[in-house]
Amino acid sequence: AQRVTQPEKLLSVFKGAPVELKCNYSYSGSPELFWYVQYSRQRLQLLLRHISRESIKGFTADLNKGETSFHLKKPFAQEEDSAIYYCALRDPYSGAGSYQLTFGKGTKLSVIP
Amino acid sequence: TGVTQSPTHLIKTRGQQVTLSCSPISGHRSVSWYQQTPGQGLQFLFEYFSETQRNKGNFPGRFSGRQFSNSRSEMNVSTLELGDSALYLCVSSSMPGQPYEQYFGPGTRLTVT
């Protein structure tokens, strides 16, 4: 069964410092990976998908199949980045158009002013 | 308007049953449900598309759901146990072939006493 591991429950960085939120997965094929974010008192929302290869709010994530990782990075943290970040995996064999996701347990990022 | 869920909160006692409701984004026909707890994180319950259950997570048969022709979805938990206390999240997703969209509801907080 697939699994997503986010080794850090809490991460604190100073404003302007680089941020890296770690995500490792176990899956025997080619999964689809996502990052979700939950800001204080807001709903969980999609941040980015690996297949889009996009940068959202300055965040990027590269899928490393050799290391089975999908770390989220931002060169300069901002106070508004403080939130809980979840890494998630979609099994492409769960069905065409299926959105079944396996989530990591999340990392709470605090950006210190 | 966004994904709506009702009720927002509810308190039940062990052995009772509960029904939760979700209205997806207009035009979305895929609805998924997740259970979120501090210990287990976000866990997939089931997914519906055009009134058909596509996938089901690893939950006992006490957990069931359905989707109506207007894409609204309900989930039911029978014979409630203390461990069913959780935030239940509904996710509304776009159809395959359309631009990828996924929106979370605010959740229903269920407390079982």
pLDDT digits over B89-102, tens only? 999 998 777 778 88
CA distances from B3 to A27, A31, A44, B6, B71 (A): 31, 27, 12, 10, 12
Summarised one tens digit per residue, pLDDT across range A15-64 is 999 999 999 999 877 888 999 999 999 999 999 988 777 888 999 998 88
Tell me the average pLDDT across A79-91. 95
Note whether B89 contacts A: Cβ–Cβ < 8 A: yes
Q: A54-58, A108-112, B81-85, B97-101 — which is least confidently predicted? A: B97-101
Please give the backbone phi and psi of residue A29, each rounded to the nearest 5 degrees, phi first: -130, -145
- For residue B104, give the nearest of A45, A52, A106 by CB distance: A45
Q: What is the pLDDT of residues B1-50, one digit of tens each?
A: 799 999 999 999 999 999 999 999 998 999 999 999 999 999 999 999 98
Predicted pLDDT of residue A93: 73
What is the predicted pLDDT for the residue at A96?
A: 67
Report the residue of chain B nearest A6, measured CA to CA.
B41
The rounded distance, in Å, linking the Cα atoms of A44 and A46 is: 7
